[in-house]
Amino acid sequence: MKILYVCTHNRCRSILSEAITNHLAKGKLQAFSAGSQPVGEVHPLSLKYLAEKGISIDGLKSQSWEEFEEIQPDIVVTVCDSAAAEVCPVWFGDTVKIHWSLPDPSKLQGSDAQIRDAFYEVMATIENRVEKLLELNLDGLSQAERQALLNRLVTENAHGAV
C-alpha cells in the first residue's frame, strides 16, 4: 500500500510522517510526502530530529503533489489544517483521504529545548498513529471499508485514544 502525506509546504510535518512511516512500516506501507505549495527545502530541524531518533533522512525532499500523479496512492493523509481545506487534485479520485491535524513545531518560538520537545511530541504522535495504522488489516478491503476503518482511527485519536 502507498500512503501520501500532504502538507501545504512539505517541509516539516509531512516529511516527518513520511520518514517515520517508512521506518516503522518496514515495507508494509510505502510512504511519500508532498505539498500543494512546496517550499523546495526540508526544514533543517526536521532532518536533525529524525536523525537523532535513528530514522533515515535519505531521499527526503520538499516536492509538489503533482509529482505523485503516476504513483496513485491508496491513502492520502493531510497533516496540516490548511492542506485539509484545499481542493485535492482530480487524480486523487476515489483515493481514501483522512486528516491528521498536527501542530507545526517549526513555527514555535522558544528555547532549543522547547523546540526539540515540540518536535519530539509531534513525532511521538505520528509514531502512535502509524503504529495504529499498521495494526489495521487494510489489504483486500474495498475503498469504502478502508475509509470507514481509517475514519474510525481518526475519531479515536481525536478523543484522546492516541
In total, how many domains does the chain have? Answer: 1
- Torsions phi, psi for 77 (to 5 deg): -120, 115
Beta-sheet strands, E only, within the chain: 2-6, 30-34, 75-78, 96-99
Q: What average pLDDT does the segment 16-28 reach?
A: 96
The residue with greater pLDDT, 88 or 118, is: 118
Please check the confidence at residue 69 and state whether its pLDDT lies above 90.
no
pLDDT the model gives residue 162? 39
Model confidence pLDDT, tens digit, residues 37-65? 899 999 999 999 999 999 999 999 999 98
Question: pLDDT band at residue 132, thresholds of 50, 70 and 90?
Answer: very high
The CATH number linked to 151 is 3.40.50.2300
**What is the domain range of residue 85?**
2-158
Q: What is the pLDDT of residue 54?
A: 97
C-alpha cell at 93: 479520485
Cell triple for residue 65?
A: 503533489
Q: CA 81, CA 49: separation in Å to the nearest integer? A: 23
Residue 161 has pLDDT above 50, yes or no: no
Task: Kindly report the pTM of this predicted structure.
Answer: 0.91
Q: What is the pLDDT of residues 70-102, one digit of tens each?
A: 888 889 998 987 755 555 555 567 788 888 989
Q: How confident is the model at residue 4 (pLDDT cuts 50, 70, 90)?
A: very high
> How much is the pLDDT for 80?
83
Q: Measured between alpha carbons, how far apart are the two ends of the chain, in Å?
A: 23
Could you give the CA distance from residue 137 to residue 3 in angstroms, rounded to a whole number? 15
Cα separation, 58 vs 77, in Å, equals 21
| Residue corresponding to grid cell 475509509 | 147
Q: Is the pLDDT of residue 134 over 60?
A: yes
Q: Which of 54, 45, 69 is nearest to 23 (CA)?
A: 54
